[in-house]
Structure 1
Amino acid sequence: MSLFEAIILGIIQGLTEFLPVSSSGHIEIGSYFLGAQSSDNLLFSIIVHAATALSTIVVFRHTIWEIIRDLFKFEWNESTQFAAKIVLSMIPIGVVGVLFEEKIETLFGGNVIFVASMLLITGLLLTITYYTKDGDNKVTFGRALIIGLAQTIAILPGISRSGATIATALYLGVEKTRATRFSFLMVLPPILGAALIKALDVVKAPEVAAGNISAVALIAGFIAAFIAGLLACQWMIAIVKRGKLIYFAIYCFIIGSAVLITHIF
């Protein structure tokens, strides 16, 4: 992977991790057209995911600090309940990840037709939010579990994780700011957990994991993903507040249709 490819894929990862257009789908499509096998480069995958996780932490640093501080009060307060809901939302994706890891990995093999089809489904999910009435509900334990199920479906490349979880929360009548905050914070533990597991694989076989990418390209990919993620996260919060997800639905329809037409004809 060249320096240019690392920067481009880092930007794609950073933007699409938060914008509801599927980071995994765009990485697959981007890798396909660039001819870069980033999905096979374990170390690069860890680096860019760590970058987007860090951007989330920076944006929500005050909320995260408040939750951590309140947890050590050992009380059943609002922060403790929020953390418990995050844990509950992780159960579905954890179960699916453990039981079907090998089958899931087969979906990430450059099958851009499948990815394009899933982008069309993401577009449909976002379109429905346009016709959903604004709610003022909180994220209850029941809603947290349902949002967690939506995150599990987003394992499929082309299904946007943020799109699926935020859309589901809005369908359930959750207030927009709460829906966005929960969606972005609920992904931190799975991302960090997956990165840790992959990091152990790097330790076991560093030569294989690193592939053919240089240290400079890795650093550039990290910086690109972090900056793009920082901007996209803040932008997405504002977009959800204004109810403008329909524009991303149109984007998903255009990209998905374009890729399908390119490959079918």
Structure 2
Amino acid sequence: MSFLEALILGIIQGLTEFLPVSSSGHLELGTYFLGVQSEDNLLFSIILHGATACSTVVIFREDILEIIKGLFKFEWNESTRFAAMIVLSMIPVGIVGVFFEDQIEQLFGGNILLVGTMLLVTAGLLAVTYFSKKNEGEITFKNAFLIGLAQAIAIMPGISRSGATISTALLLGVNKQKAARFSFLMVLPPILGAMLLKTKDFLENPAIAANVSGMSLSVGFVAAFLSGLLACQWMLSIVQKGKLIYFAMYCGVAGLLAIAGGLLW
């Protein structure tokens, strides 16, 4: 993987992690058309997701500090309730990650027909939210679990994690701002857990990253982090203004183009 390829993929990851267009799907398309070897994708993808997790921490640093302070009061309060809902939302993706890891890795092998199809699914999810007008509710434990199910399904390359989770929250009647906040904060524990597992795999078998230099990983991380900061702030504004329909259109077009590319390329 070259310096330029790492830079391009890092920017793609940073922008698409928060925008509801599927970061994993766009990374698959990017690596496919750039000709990056598929065996490098998973490790590089984890590093880039770590970068966007750091972007999330920076944007939501006050919220995170408030939650931590509340937890250390060792009492049932708004912070412990929110943290408990985050833990509940992690259960579906945790089960999928633990029991279906090998099957998941096989999805990340340049199958752009799959990516294109799943982008159409994302388009459908986003389009449906356009007709959802009652969005004044709170995040409940039931909602948190259902949003967690959406996050587990979004492991598929081409289904946007933020698109799936925010769309699910809006369809459940959750307030737009609270839906976006919960969606972005709930992904932090799974990403950090995945990074720890992949770090363990790397230490046991360094050959899995033989074709990715430390410079490429560093460039990708910085590019994803900086572009992620911009995209996260933009997405918060987009959700509040109810402009997800435009991303539904984009995903629809991108999905059709990916399918066409997979059939003709």
TM-score category of the 2 structures, normalised to the smaller one: over 0.9
Q: Which whole-Å CA distance do the structure 2 matches of 1:148 and 1:44 have between them?
A: 24
Q: Which whole-Å CA distance do the structure 1 matches of 2:39 and 2:137 have between them?
A: 38
Q: What amino acid is the match of 1:241?
A: Q
Q: What amino acid is the match of 1:226?
A: F
- How far does residue 42 in structure 1 lie from its aligned partner after superposition? 5.0
- How far does residue 26 in structure 1 lie from its aligned partner after superposition? 0.5
- How far does residue 242 in structure 1 lie from its aligned partner after superposition? 0.2
TM-score normalized by the length of structure 2: 0.96
* Pair 23,55 (structure 1): closer, same or farther in 2 beyond 3 Å: same
Asked if 1:176 corresponds to 2:176, the answer is yes
Q: Which whole-Å CA distance do the structure 2 matches of 1:4 and 1:59 have between them?
A: 27
Q: Which whole-Å CA distance do the structure 1 matches of 2:216 and 2:125 have between them?
A: 35
TM-score normalized by the length of structure 1: 0.96
Is contact 1:42–1:209 with CA below 8 Å preserved after alignment?
Answer: no
Is contact 2:108–2:157 with CA below 8 Å preserved after alignment?
Answer: yes
Asked if 1:133 corresponds to 2:133, the answer is yes
Determine the structure 1 residue equivalent to 2:51: 51
Q: Which whole-Å CA distance do the structure 2 matches of 1:239 and 1:53 have between them?
A: 20
Is contact 2:7–2:220 with CA below 8 Å preserved after alignment?
Answer: yes
Q: Deviations over 1:120-160 (max 9, x none)?
A: 01001000111111311110001000000111110111000
Asked if 1:123 corresponds to 2:123, the answer is yes
Q: What are the equivalent positions in structure 2 for 1:59-98 lying under 5 Å apart?
A: 59-98=59-98
SS in 1 for 2:92: helix
* Pair 99,216 (structure 1): closer, same or farther in 2 beyond 3 Å: closer
Q: Which whole-Å CA distance do the structure 2 matches of 1:38 and 1:110 have between them?
A: 7
* Pair 241,126 (structure 1): closer, same or farther in 2 beyond 3 Å: same
* Pair 41,164 (structure 1): closer, same or farther in 2 beyond 3 Å: closer
Q: Deviations over 1:10-57 (max 9, x none)?
A: 111111111101111111110000001265255433321211110000
Is contact 1:71–1:80 with CA below 8 Å preserved after alignment?
Answer: yes
Is contact 2:11–2:223 with CA below 8 Å preserved after alignment?
Answer: yes
Runs of 4 or more consecutive aligned structure 1 residues displaced over 3 Å after TM superposition: none
Is contact 2:40–2:211 with CA below 8 Å preserved after alignment?
Answer: no
Q: Deviations over 1:75-104 (max 9, x none)?
A: 100000000000000001111211211122
163-172 or 252-261: which moved more?
252-261
Superposed CA RMSD in Å reads: 1.2
- How far does residue 216 in structure 1 lie from its aligned partner after superposition? 2.2
Q: What amino acid is the match of 2:148?
A: G
217-226 or 160-169: which moved more?
217-226
Is contact 2:170–2:176 with CA below 8 Å preserved after alignment?
Answer: yes
Q: Which whole-Å CA distance do the structure 2 matches of 1:47 and 1:257 have between them?
A: 29
Q: Which whole-Å CA distance do the structure 2 matches of 1:77 and 1:258 have between them?
A: 48
* Pair 91,230 (structure 1): closer, same or farther in 2 beyond 3 Å: same
SS in 2 for 1:181: helix
Is contact 2:15–2:224 with CA below 8 Å preserved after alignment?
Answer: yes
- How far does residue 215 in structure 1 lie from its aligned partner after superposition? 2.4
Determine the structure 2 residue equivalent to 1:252: 251
